[in-house]
């Protein structure tokens, strides 16, 4: 190991001095974080307790929601601590842990969306073979492999970074980013770490799943162009939430990559912070909203659970009981009338 004993922490310089506004920012961040946890957990519970949602597509969604909670937790607790802190230091150990968590979150998100695009492709282009190709067992294995491979891949990537010696301490971000940490290194072999970051971070983690997603949607589009209006409508309804989620996450990652390479100081600081944290604040809220509102089975299951816990299923019982009482009263009156 070549880690310098002189550098024990980095400084996250983007926070700056925000004065008393830090309490407001802390409160807003906490509200958003709690909202992310509640929204995603609610949908995970709904999918778990409803047997009719134990289908391949909903298993993918469950993995996506778990990853959204994981991604938010990778940044937001640290973000809240840094907002209230006066120094904005982060130790090397916690910085490397944050890099690992953030990078695995990004990789799992992209690959989950890529696998979901294949699920949509089979559903639209090969509907008769869907149940034989996309089985629950296969989906469970693919989800497990996605998580395990992402953890291994990022572990390999980070193993090159932690061996470096660091001479700089200032990271111009709100969190630790592998490429920016590499720029602080003065080790002669840091070029190998750059190549490793390019291969495992950008190529495997981002480019490969995006190419796969593009390929599947080209196939879907080619089939839809020849299909009936009903099929086109079904395809549009099925793919819309997925496409919105993909475009949103691509935008978030694209801005983060661009902001590392170019001077973005012309953008107001508050907006820069929002854009940099978009993938951890907005994306994890967007996914449960678009899938929860768009997919009728989830909406129906949510309404059913809401009715159970609010007691709104009782009125039907009360109505039946009232009708029974009214009927007995009528029979009694008729009996009295006949008797007299």
Q: What is the pLDDT of residues 285-305, one digit of tens each?
A: 999 999 887 777 777 777 776
CB atoms within 10 A of CB 35: 15
Tokens of 107: 């990789």
pTM above 0.95, yes or no: no
How does pLDDT run across 205-258, given as a tens digit for each residue?
Answer: 889 999 999 999 999 999 888 888 888 888 888 898 999 999 999 999 999 888
Kindly indicate the confidence band of residue 314, based on its pLDDT and cuts at 50, 70 and 90: very low
CATH topology of domain 9-294: Rhopdopsin 7-helix transmembrane proteins (1.20.1070)
**3-class SS of residue 166:** strand
Residue 224 and residue 235 in contact, taking contact as beta carbons nearer than 8 Å: yes
Q: How many residues does this entry show for the chain? A: 340
pLDDT at position 336, please? Answer: 43
In angstroms, what CA-CA distances link 39 with 165, 182, 204, 207?
A: 42, 36, 30, 29
pLDDT at position 310, please? Answer: 60
List 90's β-bridge partners, or say none. 10
User: Is residue 335 pLDDT above 80, yes or no?
Assistant: no
Tokens of 333: 């009156």
User: For the chain, what is the mean pLDDT?
Assistant: 84
Residue 60 and residue 116 in contact, taking contact as beta carbons nearer than 8 Å: yes
Distance CA 115, CA 203 (A): 17
Question: Nearest to residue 227, comparing CAs of 94, 153, 126, 317?
Answer: 126
Distance CA 26, CA 22 (A): 6
If phi > 0 it is left, if psi is from -120 to 50 it is alpha, else beta; for residue 227 that is: beta
Determine the average pLDDT of the residues in 24-53.
92
């Amino acid at each position: 190991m070549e880690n310098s004993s002189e550098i024990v922490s980095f400084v996250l310089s983007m926070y700056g001095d925000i004065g008393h506004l830090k309490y407001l920012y802390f409160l807003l961040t906490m509200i958003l974080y709690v909202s992310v946890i509640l929204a995603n957990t609610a949908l995970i519970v709904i999918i778990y307790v409803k047997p009719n949602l134990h289908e391949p597509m909903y298993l993918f969604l469950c993995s996506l929601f778990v990853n959204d909670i994981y991604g938010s937790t990778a940044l937001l607790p640290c973000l809240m601590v840094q907002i209230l802190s006066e120094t904005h230091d982060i130790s090397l150990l916690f910085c490397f842990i944050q890099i690992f968590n953030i990078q695995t979150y990004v990789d799992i998100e992209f690959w989950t969306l890529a696998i979901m695009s294949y699920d949509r492709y089979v559903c639209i282009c090969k509907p008769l073979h869907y149940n034989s190709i996309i089985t629950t067992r296969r989906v469970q294995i693919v989800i497990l492999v996605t998580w395990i491979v992402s953890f291994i891949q990022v572990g390999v990537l980070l193993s090159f970074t932690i061996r470096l010696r660091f001479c700089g301490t200032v990271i111009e971000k709100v969190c630790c980013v592998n490429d920016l940490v590499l720029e602080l290194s003065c080790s002669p072999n840091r070029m190998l770490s750059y190549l490793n970051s390019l291969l495992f971070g950008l190529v495997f983690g981002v480019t490969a799943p995006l190419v796969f997603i593009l390929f599947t949607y080209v196939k879907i589009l080619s089939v839809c162009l020849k299909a009936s209006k009903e099929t086109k409508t079904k395809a549009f309804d099925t793919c819309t939430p997925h496409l919105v989620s993909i475009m949103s996450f691509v935008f978030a990652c694209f801005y983060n990559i661009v902001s590392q390479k170019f001077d973005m100081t012309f953008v107001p600081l508050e907006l820069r912070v929002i854009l940099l944290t978009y993938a951890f604040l907005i994306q994890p809220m967007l996914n449960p909203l678009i899938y929860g509102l768009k997919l009728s089975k989830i909406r129906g299951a949510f309404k059913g659970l809401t009715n159970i816990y609010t007691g709104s299923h009782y009125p039907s019982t009360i109505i039946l009981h009232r009708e029974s009482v009214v009927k007995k009263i009528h029979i009694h009156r008729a009996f009295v009338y006949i008797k007299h």
